[in-house]
Amino acid sequence: MSSPNGPAAKTERLLNLVLCLLYTRRPLPKSKIRDIVPQYGDAASGEAFDRMFERDKDELRELGIPLVTAEIGGVWDDEVGYRIDQREYALPDIEFEPDELAVLGLASRTWAHASLAGPAAQALRKLKAAGIERDGDSLIGIEPRLGTSEPAFEQVKNAVVGQQTISFGYRTGGQGEVNTRRVQPWGLASWHGRWYLTGFDLDRDASRVFRLSRIDGEVSVVRKAEPYTVPADHRAQEMIRSTVGEQEPRPSVVRVREGRGQSLRRRGTVGAVEGEWTVLDVPFTDPYAFADEVSGYGADVVVDEPAEVRELVVARLQGALAAHGAGAA
């Protein structure tokens, strides 16, 4: 159970205060507010209530809630009353142009991983409930995919958001040896199709960049770790760029079925047309990310070169076949 003075109790008290002041037809005096809001009734004394109420008023105003005061007469003669101006508090009706709706739909579909697809889908449902429909046909052929398939993504993302020191096994790029790292996470960013964590390595006493795909096993939160702050001038992508470096594009040759692989067609150069197949020269930087993209097209895209990418695609398709059984072939 949360403390009566804890963050959860404070949030509930502020919410009750907003509801109280938002739906009243006239300004309410402090005495009436104390009777309506349950948490104020639990105050030890009138002075304690006054201090709590003054702090809450300041916090609501800092949050941008239009709390107004007015002189009230009648029963509470010469007393100040409080209310929230509904006209200032309510959001105006939002209207979107067709191209704006297309962008919203595109953004919601960019995230390929379930952990991030939920909030995007929820936002679209709210738009639909408000009578706002997006044009799905306008997205055909322009839909990017931003995958977060690394097993450690969710745990690392939570650690970055919560500023929690974490520990994990990490494979080196050379021999593949796994060492334990204790890291204060600073940021998380995608670079050339791969996700990287930036942070401060406690064991090496230096800032470091970690590729998520090299994290081995579970990511654990370090208990009783010292609190830390992220450097004010930290820029995750700049740190990753300076550490990992730019990757020179490499050539590939792929065959794409007619009407398919629009993303590849936009980036590639047509080499030949063979019946229903178009031969494309497509540049890529990361073979693993490129294999992920190509394998998503299934039988509509075939990699001829390089052999490295072709083998990665074959391995992914075979894995999908094994996972779904031979009956799905």
Tokens of 9: 């109790």
| CB-based contact 84:71 (threshold 8 Å) | no
pLDDT digits (tens, 9 = 90+) for 269-325: 999 999 999 999 999 887 877 888 888 888 899 999 999 999 989 988 888 888 776
Q: Tell me if 14 sits within 8 A of 59, measured CB to CB.
A: yes
Determine the longest span between alpha carbons in the chain, in angstroms.
90
SS3 readout for the chain: CCCCCCHHHHHHHHHHHHHHHHCCCCCECHHHHHHHCHHHHCCCCHHHHHHHHHHHHHHHHHCCCCEEEEEECHHHCCEEEEEECHHHHCCCCCCCCHHHHHHHHHHHHHECCHHHHHHHHHHHHHHHHCCCCCCHHHHCCCCCCECCCCCCHHHHHHHHHHCCCEEEEEECCCCCCEEEEEEEEEEEEEECCEEEEEEEECCCCEEEEEEHHHEEEEEEECCCCCCCCCCCCCCHHHHHHHHHCCCCCECCEEEEECCCCHHHHHHCEEEEEECCEEEEECCECCHHHHHHHHHCCHHHEEEEECHHHHHHHHHHHHHHHHHHCHHHC
pLDDT at position 138: 41
For residue 328, the model assigns a pLDDT of 47
Bigger pLDDT: 236 vs 92: 236
Which range is least confidently modeled, 49-53, 102-106, 230-234?
Answer: 102-106
Distances 184 to 162, 199, 267 between C-alpha atoms, Å: 11, 5, 38
For the cut 70, the answer to whether the pLDDT of residue 100 exceeds it is no
Which pLDDT band, with edges at 50, 70 and 90, does 110 fall under?
low
Percent of the chain with pLDDT over 70: 74
- Residue 129 CA to residue 94 CA, distance in Å, equals 13
Task: Answer yes or no: is pLDDT of 75 > 90.
Answer: no
- Tens digits of per-residue pLDDT, 14-32? 888 888 888 777 888 888 8
Q: How confident is the model at residue 85 (pLDDT cuts 50, 70, 90)?
A: confident
pLDDT exceeds cutoff 60 at 39: yes
Of 43, 262, 238, nearest to 142 by C-alpha is 262
- In terms of DSSP bridges, do strands 215-221 and 253-257 run parallel, antiparallel, or are they unpaired? unpaired
Question: Which pLDDT score is estimated for 108?
Answer: 55
- For the stretch 194-203, pLDDT in tens is 789 999 999 9
- Taking residues 206-214, what's their average pLDDT? 91
pTM for the structure as a whole: 0.46
Q: What is the pLDDT of residues 130-180, one digit of tens each?
A: 554 444 444 444 445 555 667 888 899 989 988 999 999 998 765 568 899
Q: What is the pLDDT of residue 2?
A: 43
Using one digit for the tens of pLDDT, what is the confidence trace for 226-271?
999 999 999 988 898 888 776 678 899 999 999 888 888 888 999 9
CA distance 241 to 259: 36
